Chain A
Amino acid sequence: MRFGNRVAVAAAAGALVIAVGLGSGAIRTEAAMGAKDVIETRQKAMKELGGHMKAINGFVEKGEGDAAMVAEHATAIAQTSMKIPELFPEGTSLADSHGVKTAAKPEIWSDRPGFEKAAMSLGTEAEELAEAAKGGDKQAIAAAFGELGKNGCGGCHSNFRQKQD
């Protein structure tokens, strides 16, 4: 049975090599797919944030909709803000090689506390706008909207985003 044993060992070893080879290949593609998916997901999330801002601006500039609508959009922004840190996992910066276009600066990871603080301030500013909207005072809403754009969106974009085009 010595020969049979050897065959079995060789077959097992061969299978292992193939499995490892396939496996690591699979892992590699998964990582690349992962980066692409994550980047696309967060870009979609950012677009949605822009959509909320656009709707709120309609009320502030042209009196479209009402304060309750503003509060809804502001609350949605606050909720998305909490998911921002997890949308920026390691390996998804503009300097990483994943073949996807992104504006995420490496500073997001080298200054993680700063980044998370900036994401949190988006939530805080959005909640303040939601509060102002519940109060119903148009001037207070406009002021809170300005702060949200400047400090909430802009606070993060100033330090952590570098547009590629």
Chain B
Amino acid sequence: MPQQFPAEARLNAERRQWLHWAGAAVLAALALAAPASGRAQEADAVARGRYLATAANCVGCHTEPNGAEYAGGRALKTPFGTFYGPNITPHPEQGIGSWSDEDFLRALKRGLSPEGHPYYPAFPYTSFAGITDADALAIKAFLFSLPPSDRPSRAHDLSFPYSIRLALWPWRWLYFDPEPPPVAADASAETARGAYLVESLGHCGECHTPRNWLGARNEDRKLAGNVDGPEGDKAPNITPDPDTGLGSWSREDVIRVLETGLLPDFDAVGGAMGEVVRATSKLTAEDRAAIAAYLATVPGVPNPDAPATQPEF
């Protein structure tokens, strides 16, 4: 160790002390500021996630009638059997409380559990695959802000052969395309936003596009209506076909049904769509308009078996 003159040593000691206090002050300031801005960011993500979860209507399948929101349990009757939406509150055992960001992204966008098991496509991961990672993680932040529920998730009740979970692997290989449908190069920002809401977040095609006997959506008849919708309901044609779709609806007609549930003949939608309107009525007016704008651009497909209500002239 080099020897120091006493004066120099004293100066160094003072300097060190000064540096020590200055450093401590800076650290303290950072320590106070960081969580504050972190908290603000988190609150922002939760609010954004709440809106996105509404657009995706997570509550629709993951909540039992009159039950705790997102605690699971709602029965979804389909031609393949009855599915029960699981508990997605942040409970560490019964919910998704132990999931990492990666677990959540893989489940939402790839349809795989944290253990790597495939989900049934009743969980619309084939649509959610198009959700951006940032939006997906905002949804996770929102879900993790909910009160945890210890309600256990219920096993699905499926008919043979759909009860064979291993069969989901070849199904994925045949039908799962993680790429969202491409948006036309000349699409306006509004139409592109509408495409994201309809195709990915809002997963409209899960009910309005018909499925084959293996449950895969027939994209050649995208949004052209499905006679075998959930709960035995018909999901009508929402393509711009003039006779059996929305071709004769005005833009206001489309926006109105999303906002109020009222059809162009002033009947009110029922069944599963009645539930969906609870979600779409909470969207911004801009987002409802974007949905209407995008629906006007998809190919029109006639479907007399599941026609949309036609306006009276």
User: A residues bordering B, Cβ < 8 Å?
Assistant: 46, 50-51, 53-54, 57, 61, 103, 145-146, 148-150, 153-163, 165
- Pair A153/B252 contact, Cβ less than 8 Å: no
Contacts of B265 in A (CB 8 A): 50
Instruction: State the Cβ distance, B281 to closest chain A Cβ, in Å.
Output: 5
Q: Which residue of B lies closest to A146 (CB)?
A: B260
What CA separation (Å) do A161 and B271 show in the bound complex?
Answer: 7
Q: Is B8 an interface residue (CB 8 A)?
A: no
Q: Is B240 an interface residue (CB 8 A)?
A: no
- Pair A162/B261 contact, Cβ less than 8 Å: no
What CA separation (Å) do A57 and B260 show in the bound complex?
Answer: 10
Q: Is B287 an interface residue (CB 8 A)?
A: no
Interface size on B, residues (CB 8 A): 22
**With A149-B259, A149-B261, A158-B271 already in contact, 18 other A-B pairs whose C-beta atoms are closer than 8 Å:** A51-B266, A57-B266, A61-B252, A146-B281, A150-B281, A154-B269, A157-B269, A157-B271, A157-B274, A158-B274, A159-B274, A161-B270, A162-B232, A162-B233, A162-B270, A162-B271, A163-B271, A165-B234
Chain B residues 105 to 157 lying within 8 A of chain A, measured CB to CB, are none
What CA separation (Å) do A158 and B233 show in the bound complex?
Answer: 11
List the 4 shortest-distance A-B pairs measured between CB atoms, nearest first. Answer: A158-B274, A157-B270, A153-B268, A149-B260
| A-B pairs with beta carbons under 8 Å apart, 23 shown | A46-B267, A50-B266, A54-B266, A57-B262, A145-B260, A146-B260, A148-B260, A149-B259, A149-B261, A149-B262, A150-B259, A150-B278, A153-B261, A154-B260, A154-B269, A154-B274, A154-B277, A157-B269, A158-B271, A159-B274, A162-B231, A163-B233, A163-B270
- Pair B268/A154 contact, Cβ less than 8 Å: yes
User: B residues bordering A, Cβ < 8 Å?
Assistant: 231-234, 252, 256, 259-262, 265-271, 274-275, 277-278, 281
Q: Which residue of B lies closest to A152 (CB)?
A: B268
Q: Which residue of B lies closest to A165 (CB)?
A: B234
Instruction: State the Cβ distance, B257 to closest chain A Cβ, in Å.
Output: 9
What CA separation (Å) do A7 and B278 show in the bound complex?
Answer: 73
- Pair B277/A57 contact, Cβ less than 8 Å: no
Instruction: State the Cβ distance, A12 to closest chain B Cβ, in Å.
Output: 54
- Pair A157/B268 contact, Cβ less than 8 Å: yes
Instruction: State the Cβ distance, A140 to closest chain B Cβ, in Å.
Output: 15
A153 and B271 in contact, given A57-B256, A162-B233 (Cβ under 8 angstroms):
no
A153 and B275 in contact, given A158-B270, A161-B270, A162-B232 (Cβ under 8 angstroms):
no
- Pair B232/A153 contact, Cβ less than 8 Å: no
Of the listed residues A57, A61, A157, the one surrounded by the most CB atoms of chain B closer than 10 A to its CB is: A157
What CA separation (Å) do A51 and B259 show in the bound complex?
Answer: 19
A158 and B260 in contact, given A150-B281, A163-B233, A163-B270 (Cβ under 8 angstroms):
no
- Pair A154/B259 contact, Cβ less than 8 Å: no
